[in-house]
């Protein structure tokens, strides 16, 4: 032993060495078929004329960079300008679609003269207003307007007697003998007549004569409201509403109605006769004369009611 480490056979231990069975051969390895992806693809022809985009052409290729068909030669590459028939140079057409033009509303030809005529009329009206001054001042042809006011009660020469009871709006009533004022009634004035020895209770009265008033209603409407209220809980037979001849020029509507009714009180049946007359004046005041009496007292009550009715009409 020489004391030196045995390095073993020469060579790299990490490299496989051919074995004895492996025979070196110079035969070429089997070649794989060429891949279609490695083939050269010619670009499609340009729509603007000339040849396609330059590819890896051979140096002497006529379509190469230096050839007549190459990028620097005539007729190669996309066209940048084209000649027009009038000699100007225009650029290549754009592939973008032009924006649609906005359609303007078409005006019928017939409307044009009509609109012009209206415009002339407006101008003439403005000029006339300007020339007239445009004010509402009073003049010979333009009298001043008077404010609308509620008409006052008409003047009359009638002088009520000292025992007349005022109702309102210049109207009064003169009670007949034996008739007294029923003070509990506040709407208008109501006169009643009682049997001898009565305490003045409304239920004991033999007859009523009631004068009441309203404004801004028709005489017919006022009459129907009164008769419906008078006979609401009674068995009633109504006559027809009739027009009366208005006894004075100041009256514009005069109507009347008669009725009969029956009601029961304390087990006793009572028959009633009644009549209502309504007069409307020019100033809008409506006066109603409501007469109502027991049927057995009608002859006396009707005669008294005629006298009181005349006193009211004289004061209208």
Task: Convert the pLDDT of each residue in 194-244 to its tens digit.
Answer: 988 776 676 788 999 999 999 989 999 999 999 999 888 899 999 999 999
* Torsion angles phi and psi, residue 228, rounded to 5: -65, -40
pTM of the model: 0.52
pLDDT for res 268:
85
CA distances from 5 to 1, 8, 244, 257, 261 (A): 10, 9, 163, 160, 159
Task: Establish how many alpha carbons lie within 13 A of residue 217's alpha carbon, considering only the half-sphere containing its beta carbon.
Answer: 16
Please give the Cα distance from 227 to 241 (Å, whole number). 11
Q: Is 159 exposed, middle or buried (0-12, 13-18, 19+ CB in 10 A)?
A: exposed
pLDDT for res 138:
45
- Extract the residue ranges of the chain whose pLDDT is less than 50: 1, 52-53, 66, 69, 71-76, 135-140, 148
Structure tokens at 36: 């279609």
pLDDT for res 186:
82
25-46 burial, b for 16+ CB within 10 Å, e for fewer?
eeeeeeeeeeeeeeeeeeeeee
Residues 211, 165: contact at Cβ < 8 Å? no
Q: Which of 315, 245, 240 is nearest to 285 (CA)?
A: 315
Residues 242, 221: contact at Cβ < 8 Å? no
End-to-end CA distance of the chain: 172
Q: Which ranges of the chain does DSSP label H, i.e. alpha helix?
A: 111-132, 219-230, 298-315
Radius of gyration of the chain (CA): 62
pLDDT for res 196:
85
Please give the Cα distance from 139 to 137 (Å, whole number). 6
**Residue 70 CB partners (closer than 8 Å, separation 6+):** 54, 57, 61, 62, 63, 64, 76
Distance from chain centroid for Cα 71: 76
pLDDT for res 153:
59
Per DSSP, the chain holds a count of helices (H) and strands (E) of 3, 12
């Amino acid at each position: 032993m020489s004391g030196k480490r045995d390095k073993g056979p020469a060579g790299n231990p990490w490299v496989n060495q051919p074995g004895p069975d492996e025979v070196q051969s110079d035969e070429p390895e089997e070649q794989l078929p060429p891949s279609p992806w490695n083939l050269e693809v010619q670009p499609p022809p340009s729509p603007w004329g000339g040849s396609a985009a330059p590819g890896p052409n051979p140096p002497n290729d006529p379509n190469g960079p230096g050839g007549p068909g190459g990028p620097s030669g005539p007729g190669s590459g996309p066209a940048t300008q084209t000649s027009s028939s009038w000699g100007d140079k225009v650029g290549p057409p754009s592939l973008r679609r032009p924006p649609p033009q906005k359609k303007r509303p078409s005006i019928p030809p017939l409307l044009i003269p009509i609109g012009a005529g209206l415009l002339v009329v407006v101008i003439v009206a403005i000029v006339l207003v300007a020339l007239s001054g445009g004010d509402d001042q009073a003049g010979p042809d333009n009298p001043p307007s008077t404010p609308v006011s509620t008409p006052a009660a008409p003047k009359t020469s009638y002088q009520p007697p000292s025992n007349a009871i005022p109702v309102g709006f210049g109207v009064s009533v003169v009670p007949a003998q034996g008739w007294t004022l029923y003070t509990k009634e506040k709407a208008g004035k109501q006169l009643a007549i009682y049997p001898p020895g009565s305490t003045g209770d409304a239920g004991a009265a033999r007859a009523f004569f009631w004068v009441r008033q309203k404004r801004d209603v028709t005489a017919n409407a006022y009459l129907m409201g009164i008769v419906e209220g008078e006979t609401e809980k009674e068995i009633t037979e109504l006559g027809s509403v009739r027009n009366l001849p208005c006894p004075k020029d100041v009256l514009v509507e005069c109507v009347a109605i008669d009725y009969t009714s029956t009601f029961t009180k304390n087990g006793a049946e009572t028959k009633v006769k009644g009549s209502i007359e309504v007069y409307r004046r020019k100033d809008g005041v409506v006066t109603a004369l409501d007469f109502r009496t027991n049927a057995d007292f009608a002859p006396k009550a009707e005669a008294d009611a005629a006298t009181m009715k005349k006193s009211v009409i004289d004061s209208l």
